[in-house]
Structure 1
Amino acid sequence: MKRFAKPALALIAFFAFACQDNPTLAPPVTTGVLVDDSFATNTNGWDGDYTDYGVEQQSLIEFSFTHATLPAPLNQSQKALRVFGRNRSDDLFMFVRKQLTGLAPNTDYKLVFDLEMASLHPSGSIGIGGSPATSVFLKAGASATKPEKVKDGNFYHLSVDKGAQSDEGTAAVILGNVSNGKDVEEYALFQRSNTERPLTARSNANGELWVFVGTDSGFEGDQALYYTKIKVTAL
């Protein structure tokens, strides 16, 4: 029996090291910072999409999602997630999303979103259909399935319940609007958060969760917005 002791101990040590080195065997994340992204060099896994419009309006919207430098008078050496669209439906939802993994399966998470972004418009601005600042509602959401646009008849809507404009849905909470916090029409950075009202979302059986932030717009015009920081914390 003694001559097998050393090989047996070596085998145990090997498996212990392998488990420690394999991230798939790490304990699932239940609290703490899940996302803390800025976008100096890349999109960090975020992508963009848009919804809430009729099929006949699709060619008019000219939506784009890019990794772009900030506009003047902001620091043009800094990059951000830029979304652009022409709201021809009076209800355009432009958003960015990212999948999270390594969470506890089938578990409720209380999420706080902290955003920094840039907008062109002051709170007193007016526009067709509504203000490009105060009639554009900033939302943050999460779901076990990928939030994406689905076609229902001749209309595209989001696959999860984000609510409609100033109304919240079961999968999203309103963080405020996109007023730039200034008295003039120029791009400025501002922050939004739902610290006082965390959003509860449940992970799927694989310990995955999608998070998204976007704007539900009542302003019928062109709008470009820049997301510079996105942080998501589980309480």
Structure 2
Amino acid sequence: MTLKKYILIALLAAAGLWGCNDDSLDAAITVDSNFQSGTSGENGWEPGFAGYASTADSSQLDTVAAIALLPRGLDTTQYGFRILSRYSKGNMFSYLKKRVSGFTPNGSYEMTLQVDLATNYSNDSAKGVVDQVTFKAGVSPSEPLTKLVSGVYAFNLDKGTGKQPGKDVLLSGSIASTNRDTRYHTLLRYSNAPVTVTANNRGELWFYAGTDSDYKDTTIFYFDRIIATFKEL
């Protein structure tokens, strides 16, 4: 058995979410999270919030993150990861993160990423939401974390500020749907071309997806599906 084929089989066994065509040494490796019900509905994704002051109280700050049935306008028999956030005093970054292991340590991979984000905001929505909330997603060899820095719970990766993406952001864009009604619709956000990523020395990559918001009121989103596809270089 070749080394590359062994790696693919090991990934499949270890992650439980990987799929490959065993007939080809050039087969793609796929991580596919759809957040369905049950004890593993989170698919290994963990929520986090960043940007708020350590002194923020419940009158200023509200955060909720949990698996929930999708809302009306979508398939209400299916589940997604629901994120609610409100921070009345400044910027809030609300995100999910996931560790994937089994890569070749320090190995390089060609990757494409797709995130299905469910939102009921449109270009006709209150401009405060559409203009002040930006979707962002990325991949890093380092774990995305919220750390207390000078009295603020800050995000440790370079996500950029507001609509401006940082160096650790792969996908960035509007949270507005092209549909004009107020029902929820799924937005497909995906990389237009493959990018090269490098695993850390433990053979890991970390993914994150979230919303970077300067909006001072409540926003609610559902992550419906997140798919990453890799090919070892």
TM-score, normalization by structure 2: 0.80
2:32·2:228 contact (CA, 8 Å) conserved in 1?
yes
Letter in 1 for 2:230: A
Q: Larger % of helix: which? A: 1
Alignment-derived partner of residue 149 in structure 1: 146
Distance in 2, matches of 1:58 and 1:35, equals 37
Q: CA RMSD, aligned part only?
A: 2.5
Residues in 1 aligned to 2:81 and 2:213: alpha-carbon distance in whole angstroms:
18
Aligned to 2:22: none
* Contact 1:172–1:199 under 8 Å retained in 2: no
CA distance in 1, matches of 2:116, 2:62: 25
The answer as to whether partners of 2:171 and 2:190 remain within 8 angstroms in 1 is no
User: Counterpart of 1:205 in structure 2: which amino acid?
Assistant: N
State the distance in 2 between where 1:190 and 1:204 align: 31
| Structure 2 spans left out of the alignment, 5+ residues | 1-5, 19-25
The total of aligned residue pairs comes to: 209
**Distance apart, 1:200 and its partner CA:** 4.2
Q: Which amino acid aligns with 1:118?
A: A
CA contact (8 A) 1:114 1:191 kept: yes
Q: 1:90 to 1:112 in 2, by over 3 A?
A: farther
Verify the 8 A CA contact 1:141 1:199 in the aligned structure 2: no
What are the within-5 Å matches in structure 2 for residues 57-206 of structure 1?
A: 57=56, 59=58, 60-127=60-127, 130=128, 132-196=129-193, 198-206=194-202
In terms of Rg, which structure is larger?
Answer: 1
1:162-196: CA deviations, max 9, x gaps? 11121111211333111122112221122111223
Q: Are the equivalent residues in 1 in contact too, given 2:146–2:156 (CA < 8 A)?
A: yes
Match of 2:210 in 1: 214
Q: Which amino acid aligns with 2:81?
A: L
CA positional deviation for 1:199: 4.7
Aligned with 1:57: secondary structure? coil
Q: Can you list the C-alpha shifts for 1:115-174, whole angstroms capped at 9, x where unaligned?
A: 1121121113225xx3x1343111111112210101111111111111112111121133
> 1:110 and 1:205 mapped to 2: Cα distance?
17
